[in-house]
Amino acid sequence: MHFSFPTLAILGSMPFIVQAQLTGHVGPTTSATDKAAVKTCNVLDYGAVADNTTDVGQPIMDAFTDCASGGLVYVPEGDYLLINWVGLVNGTGVAVQLDGVLYRGSDPGSQGYMFSISDSSDIEFFSSTGKGAIQASGYLYHLQGTRIGPRILSVGGVTDWSVHDLALVDAPMFHFGIGDAYNGEVYNMAIRGGDSGGLDGIDVAGSNIWVHDVMVTNKDECVTIKTGAANILVENIYCNISGGCGMGSLGAGANVTDITYRNVYTWSSNNMYLIKSNGGSGTVSNVLLENFIGHGNAYSLDLNAYWSSMSAAEGDGVYYTNITFSNWTGTEYDGARRAPIFLSCPAEVPCTDITVEEVNIWTEVGDEQTYFCGNAYGTGVCLNEAATPTSYASTITVTSAPSGYSATKMAEDLSSGFGYTLSIPIPTLPASFYPGVTPYSAIAGSS
């Protein structure tokens, strides 16, 4: 799809403006229908067979070669074995329609991305039925005690692009990496991985990218911003037993600006949102995190500049400035053990212009919770409002539930994850990715 957006200016309670917006159109510049009218390259005409035995990788690449300068590559419904990793390079005005299911069939020692799109423009990767999927059978790696293996999907060095209406399932390692990509749109997707670290859902770097209406099940990143990201809009995200959304890990030379997350629902996950660094340098600025609902998560609102799961990077710390957390509701698992509001900024580089407003979350275990602020300046909770930042630490204990914390739940909330030693089923795309909100684009194949 192709959308144009007006500039968004969100005025908070402080006398500054959070400007986190897309800068222009996102998505392909011509439709898949128009591309198909130029030329259609059906992989069945290039040696593919929907028997889950014959390699489909080379036929997809051969079909792409013939349609790379304008056309549509078509993978019909059916089950296909993916032995040769697919690398689609130097396409212009091309779409890839995956209505079938690709099953990983390569040797367990293989690395890299199973499916990558690079150095291309005006390109679309999608399913017309909402049933297209890549099943990577990562559990076969995990049974061997390794989390190192191929990733499923990569988009890099690409402009004017989209990925939508697909499922990515059981990656041996990461599911979907986006880097050095511009004017992109990702939507109507389901990602389902094992209960383990290193199985990221979507990692985003690049500029002018809209990610919306996505459901992720795993135990690592849900939809996460990486350094080098600017003008990213993330909306209608369903972290359905996951690691939760976040930003990082950020090290030396961090550079993130103009980021908005809106309408994020997080169920039984590690975090609602985690910004993580340890040492390092650079700047994160102009971030808006609004309309978050959480239930049963270990952590909730978490900015941790001393994140112990990464080695300290060179530098006094990343400078965080102009970050707003607004309208968060729901519950966390144990608010006395893990503070639902935790803002720990670098002592040498305190955070500035931080706003916490209408964050009403309550503990499911016990009858008290704590808030922690360290070296964090702005307004709300335990933040310091002084004009000249210095190092400090403040902890507040709360013994009564805040008003307005009650929040709805989603019908598709899972009762448990999928482990990492058994095959994970391909999910159906849900009708909604945030309570009461209809996806921006109709789910492919829906009435």
Does the pLDDT at position 9 exceed 60? no
Phi, psi (deg, nearest 5) at residue 141: -70, -50
Asked if 279 and 312 touch (Cβ cutoff 8 Å), the reply is yes
pLDDT in tens, 408-437: 999 999 999 999 999 999 999 999 999 999
pLDDT in tens, 222-259: 999 999 999 999 999 999 999 999 999 999 999 999 99
Mean pLDDT calculated for residue range 346-370: 98
pLDDT in tens, 275-327: 999 999 999 999 999 999 999 999 999 999 999 999 999 999 999 999 999 99
Does the pLDDT at position 27 exceed 90? yes
Catalytic residue among 122, 213, 220, 353: 220
Q: Are strands 244-250 and 273-277 parallel, antiparallel or unpaired?
A: parallel
pLDDT in tens, 290-304: 999 999 999 999 999
- Catalytic (active site) residue 220: yes
pLDDT in tens, 363-373: 999 999 999 99
Percent of the chain scored above 90 by pLDDT? 91
Question: With b meaning 16 or more CB within 10 Å and e meaning fewer, what string describes 98-121?
Answer: bbbbbbbbbeeeeeebbbbbbebb
Residues of the chain with CATH 2.160.20.10: 20-208, 220-411+428-435
Question: With b meaning 16 or more CB within 10 Å and e meaning fewer, what string describes 305-329?
Answer: bbbeebeebebebbbbbbbbbbbbb
CATH of 220-411+428-435, one of 2.160.20.10, 1.20.1260.10, 2.60.120.10, 3.30.428.10: 2.160.20.10
Find residue 385's DSSP bridge partners: none
Does the pLDDT at position 399 exceed 60? yes
Distance separating alpha carbons of residues 217 and 239, to the nearest angstrom? 6
Give the residue among 249, 247, 337 at the shortest CA–CA distance from 298. 337
Work out the pLDDT band at 36, boundaries 50, 70, 90: very high
What is the CATH architecture of 20-208? Answer: 3 Solenoid (2.160)
Quick count: other Cβ atoms within 10 Å of Cβ 22?
A: 23
Distance separating alpha carbons of residues 247 and 224, to the nearest angstrom? 5
pLDDT of the residue at 413: 98
pLDDT of the residue at 387: 87
Does the pLDDT at position 60 exceed 90? yes
Mean pLDDT calculated for residue range 161-174: 97
- Catalytic (active site) residue 45: no
Does the pLDDT at position 35 exceed 70? yes
Does the pLDDT at position 20 exceed 70? no
pLDDT of the residue at 107: 75
Mean pLDDT calculated for residue range 193-222: 96
pLDDT of the residue at 434: 98
pLDDT in tens, 77-122: 999 999 999 999 999 999 999 999 999 998 767 779 999 999 999 9
Whether pTM exceeds 0.85: yes
Work out the pLDDT band at 197, boundaries 50, 70, 90: confident
Catalytic residue among 170, 213, 295, 302: 295
| Residue-averaged pLDDT of the chain | 94
Q: Are strands 369-374 and 393-398 parallel, antiparallel or unpaired?
A: antiparallel
pLDDT of the residue at 147: 79
Does the pLDDT at position 2 exceed 50? no
Give the residue among 170, 101, 177 at the shortest CA–CA distance from 137. 170
pLDDT of the residue at 352: 97
